Amino acid sequence: MIAVVPIPALSDNYVWLIHNEDTGETAAVDPSVDRPVLDAAKERGWAIGQILNTHWHPDHVGGNRGIKEATGCTITAPAAEAPRIAGVDRGVGEGDRVTVCGMEGVVWNIPAHTAGHVAYYFELAGMIFVGDTMFAMGCGRLFEGTAEQMFANMARFAALPDDVQVFCGHEYSLANARWAVTVEPDNAALAERLGEIERMRADRQVTLPTTIGQERATNPFLRAASVADLARLRSAKDSFG
C-alpha cells in the first residue's frame, strides 16, 4: 500500500513523502527544506531513501543536500537542470523510467515554468507529480518557456484518466479559485469548488492532491481552447489582485 503525505514548508510549499507500507521504502518529492522533512519522516518511523526533483528552483531543491547527508539517499532530477541542483545521482528526461517505493513510473518533459521541468507519472498507481507546471485551477508562471509549451503540457495532462491524482508543489488553490471564477462566472462546478476550498482553508486543511477530472471541469488553463487563449489567461492571472 502506498501512502503520500504532504509536509508543509516555507510559506506555501508542499514536500510530498511517498511511503510503501509493505516494503518500508520512503521517497521525498521536491524537498524545499531538510530538517522538517527529516523530522516528519522520523516521527512516522520512515527512512528516506530517495529524492525526486521536478525542477531547479530553490524552493523545490533546497533540502537536497541536508537530506542526502543525513540519509545517504539517491537523488533523481531533470538532466537538463542537474548542474543547478545539489547532489544529483541520476538525471532523467522524457521517457525515462523510474522506480520509486516499488512503483514504476515514467518521466515527462514539461517545460515552460522552467526550461527543463519534468513530471513523474505513475500510471498503475494513478498519480502524477507535476511540481510547478499545474496547480489546482492554475498553471505555473512562464519563467523560462512559452505559452505554446504550457498549452502542450495542459493538453497532455487533460488526456489522462479523470481519476489520476495530481500532486502539485504549492497550496495555491484558494487564490486560483477566486481568480478562476472571474474568468468562468457561469461555471457551476467551479463555483461549488470555490466554496469547498474556502471551507477547507478556513480549517487549515490541505486542498491537494487534485484530480485530472476536477481540473478538466474547473481549471481555465486546462480548458484553454488555443495557445492564444492560454497566453491571455496567463497574463490575466499574472495581474490579478
Q: From the candidates 30, 34, 96, 132, give the one annotated as an active-site residue.
A: 132
Active site residue 60: yes
Q: From the candidates 19, 34, 96, 170, give the one annotated as an active-site residue.
A: 170
C-alpha cell at 121: 507519472
Q: From the candidates 30, 55, 96, 117, give the one annotated as an active-site residue.
A: 55
**What local confidence, expressed as pLDDT, does residue 70 receive?**
98
**What local confidence, expressed as pLDDT, does residue 241 receive?**
65
> For 45-54, what is the mean pLDDT?
98
pLDDT in tens, 177-202: 999 999 999 999 999 999 999 999 99
The pTM (predicted TM-score) of the whole model is 0.98
Q: From the candidates 19, 30, 96, 113, give the one annotated as an active-site residue.
A: 113
pLDDT in tens, 203-237: 999 999 999 999 999 999 999 999 999 999 999 99
- C-alpha span between 189 and 208 (Å, rounded): 17
**What local confidence, expressed as pLDDT, does residue 99 receive?**
98
Sort residue 12 into left (φ over 0), alpha (ψ -120 to 50) or beta. alpha
Q: From the candidates 59, 117, 186, 229, give the one annotated as an active-site residue.
A: 59
Active site residue 117: no
> Vertex 162, ends 224 and 94: CA angle to 5°?
75
Give the chain's mean pLDDT.
Answer: 98
Domain hosting residue 10, numbered range:
2-238
Share of the chain above pLDDT 90, in %: 99
CATH code, 68:
3.60.15.10
pLDDT in tens, 52-96: 999 999 999 999 999 999 999 999 999 999 999 999 999 999 999
Active site residue 34: no
Domain count, the chain: 1
C-alpha cell at 22: 509493505
Active site residue 19: no
Cβ burial of 209 (10 Å; 0-12, 13-18, 19+) is buried
Which helix H or strand E contains 104, and what residues bound it? Answer: strand 103-109
Active site residue 170: yes
Q: From the candidates 19, 30, 57, 96, give the one annotated as an active-site residue.
A: 57
Q: 186: how many CB neighbours lie within 10 A of its CB?
A: 7
**What local confidence, expressed as pLDDT, does residue 174 receive?**
98
Which residues, listed in sequence order, are joined to residue 138 by a DSSP beta bridge?
Answer: 135
Q: From the candidates 19, 30, 34, 60, give the one annotated as an active-site residue.
A: 60
pLDDT in tens, 136-177: 999 999 999 999 999 999 999 999 999 999 999 999 999 999
**What local confidence, expressed as pLDDT, does residue 181 receive?**
98
- C-alpha span between 134 and 169 (Å, rounded): 9
